[in-house]
Structure 1
Amino acid sequence: MSTQADSNKKDLLRGGQFLVKETKAEDVFTPEDFSDEQKMMRESVQDFVDREIMPKREEFEKKNYELTEELMKKAGEMGFLGVSVPEEYDGLGMGFVTTMLVVDYISGATGSFSTAFGAHSGIGTLPITLYGTEEQKKKYLPKLSTGEWFGAYALTEPGAGSDANSGKTKAVLSEDGKYYSITGQKMWISNAGFCNMMIVFARIEDDKNITGFIVEYDPENPNGISLGEEEKKLGIHSSSTRQVFFNDTKVPVENMLSERGNGFKIAMNALNVGRIKLAGACLDAQRRTITSAVKYANERVQFKTPIANFGAVQSKLAEMAASAYVGEAASYRAAKDIEDRISIRQEEGNSHQEAELKGVEEYAIECSILKVAASEDLQNCTDEGIQIFGGMGFSADAPMESAWRDARITRIYEGTNEINRMLCVGMLVKKAMKGHVDLLGPATKVGEELTGIPSFDKPDFSELLAEEKEMIKKLKKVFLMVAGSAVQKFGPQLEDHQQLLLASADILIEIYMAESGILRVEKNAKRFGADTQKEQIAMAKLYLYHAVDIINTRAKEGIVSFAEGDEQRMMLMGLKRFTKYENQPNVVELRNTIAQKVIAENRYPF
Structure 2
Amino acid sequence: MTMKNITRGGQFLVKETKAEDIFTPEDFSEEQKMMRDSVIEFVDRELWPNKARFEKKDYAFTEEMMRKAGELGLLGVAVPEQYGGLEMGFVSTMLVCDYISGTSGSFSTAFGAHTGIGTLPITLYGTEEQKQKYVPKLASGEWFGAYCLTEPGAGSDANSGKTKAVLSDDGSHYKISGQKMWISNAGFANLFIVFARIEDDKNITGFIVENDPANGISLGEEEHKLGIHSSSTRQVFFNETKVPVENMLSERGNGFKIAMNALNVGRIKLAAACLDAQRRVIGESVKYANERIQFKTPIAKFGAIKQKLAEMATSAYVDESACYRAAKDIEDRIAMRVAEGNSHQEAELKGVEEYAIECSILKVAVSEDVQNTTDEGIQIFGGMGFSADTPMESAWRDARISRIYEGTNEINRMLSVGMLIKKAMKGHVDLLGPAMAVKDELMGIPSFDIPDYSELFAEEKEIIGKLKKAFLMIAGAGVQKFGPELEEHQQILMASADILIEIYMAESAILRTEKNAQRFGEASQEYQIAMAQLYLFNAVEKINSKGKEAIISFTEGDEQRMMLMGLKRYTKYANLPNIVALREKIADKLSAENTYCF
**Could you say which TM-score interval applies, normalised by the shorter chain?**
over 0.9
Match of 2:472 in 1: 480
Q: Does 1:265 align with 2:257?
A: yes
Separation in 2 of the partners of 1:59 and 1:307?
31
Superposition map of 1:358-377 within 5 A: 358-377=350-369
The answer for the alignment partner of 1:133 in structure 2 is: 127
Query: 2:323 matched to which residue of 1?
Result: 331
Local SS of the residue matching 1:222: helix
1:234 aligns with 2:230: no
| 2:281 corresponds to which of 289, 301, 308 | 289
Distance 1:567 1:587 in 2: 34
AA in 1 matched with 2:335? S
Q: Which residue of 2 aligns with 1:204?
A: 198
Q: Letter of the 1:536 partner, please give it.
A: Q
What residue identity is the alignment partner of 2:195? F
User: 1:32, 1:113 → 2: CA distance?
Assistant: 27
Distance, in Å, in 1 between the alignment partners of 2:6 and 2:588 is: 37
Letter in structure 2 aligned against 1:33: D
Question: 1:149 is matched with which residue?
Answer: 143
Aligned-residue CA RMSD in angstroms? Answer: 0.5
Structure-2 residue corresponding to 1:414: 406
Q: Secondary structure at the match of 2:214?
A: coil
In the other structure, the counterpart of 2:167 is 173
Question: 2:10 & 2:214 partners in 1: Cα distance?
Answer: 46
Q: Distance in 2 between matches of 1:239 and 1:553?
A: 39
Structure 1: distance between partners of 2:487 and 2:297: 54
Residue matched to 1:498 = 490
- Indicate yes or no: 2:83 matched with 1:84: no
Q: Which residue of 1 aligns with 2:180?
A: 186
> Number of aligned pairs?
598
User: How far did residue 222 of structure 1 move?
Assistant: 3.3
Q: Matches of 1:308 and 1:559 in 2, distance apart?
A: 41
CA distance in 2, matches of 1:529, 1:593: 19
Partner of 2:534: 542
1:109 aligns with 2:127: no
1:171-202 Cα distance to aligned partner (Å, 9 max, x none) = 00001100000000000000000000010000
- The aligned amino acid for 2:96 is V
User: Using the alignment, how far apart are the partners of 1:309 and 1:328 within structure 2?
Assistant: 27
Q: Which amino acid aligns with 1:160?
A: A
1:164 — aligned with what? Answer: 158
2:114 to 110, 117, 120: 120
5+ residue gaps in structure 2?
Answer: none
Which AA in structure 1 matches 2:152? P
> Of the candidates 581, 592, 599, which is equivalent to residue 584 of structure 2?
592
Partner in structure 2 of residue 27 of structure 1? 21
Give the letter for the 1:82 counterpart.
Answer: G
Is 1:343 the counterpart of 2:298? The answer is no
The 5 A counterparts of 1:30-69 are 30-69=24-63
In the TM superposition, residue 305 of structure 1 has moved relative to its aligned partner by 1.1
Q: Distance in 1 between matches of 2:82 and 2:425?
A: 40
Alpha-carbon separation, structure 1, partners of 2:482 and 2:585:
46
Aligned mate of 1:557, from 539, 549, 554: 549
Q: 2:211 corresponds to which residue?
A: 217
What residue number does 1:511 align with?
A: 503
Distance 1:373 1:435 in 2: 27
Give the match for residue 236 of structure 2: 244
Question: Could you tell me which residue of structure 2 aligns to residue 465 of structure 1?
Answer: 457
Aligned to 2:192, the other structure's residue is in SS state strand
Q: Does 1:525 align with 2:517?
A: yes
What is the rounded CA distance, in whole Å, between the counterparts of 1:163 and 1:128 in structure 2?
23
Cα distance in 2 between the residues matched to 1:522 and 1:72: 39
Note the C-alpha offset of 1:122: 0.4
2:65 to 71, 77, 83: 71
- In 1, Cα distance between the equivalents of 2:588 and 2:33? 27
Separation in structure 2 between the aligned mates of residue 339 and residue 328 of structure 1, nearest angstrom: 16
Deviations along 1:73-122, one digit per CA (max 9) or x if unpaired, are 00000000010000000000000000000000000100000000000000
AA aligned to 1:47 is E
2:447 aligned residue (433, 444, 455): 455
C-alpha distance after superposition, 1:526-578 (max 9, x if no partner): 00000000000000000000000000000001001111100000000000000
Q: What code does the residue aligned with 2:65 have? A: L
SS in 2 for 1:605: coil
Counterparts of 2:321 and 2:245, CA distance in 1 = 44
Match of 2:61, SS state, is helix
Superposed CA offset, 1:403-462 (max 9, x none): 000000000010000000000000000000000000000000000000000000111101
For the residue of structure 1 that corresponds to 2:378, the secondary structure is: helix
- Cα deviation, residue 10, structure 1: 2.0
- Residue 588 of structure 1, CA deviation: 0.4
Q: TM-score, normalised by structure 2?
A: 1.00
Deviations 1:268-295 (A, max 9, x none): 0000000000000000000000000000
Structure 1 vs Structure 2: percent identity of aligned residues?
79
| CA distance in 2: counterparts of 1:540 and 1:179, whole angstroms | 57
Match for residue 404 of structure 1? Answer: 396
Counterpart of 1:68 in structure 2: which amino acid? Answer: T
Q: Secondary structure at the match of 1:149?
A: coil
What code does the residue aligned with 1:29 have? F
Question: What is residue 308 of structure 1 aligned with on the other side?
Answer: 300
Q: Which runs of 4+ in 1 moved over 3 A?
A: none
Give yes or no for the alignment of 1:353 onto 2:353. no
Gaps of 5+ in 1: none
Q: Could you tell me which residue of structure 2 aligns to residue 393 of structure 1? A: 385
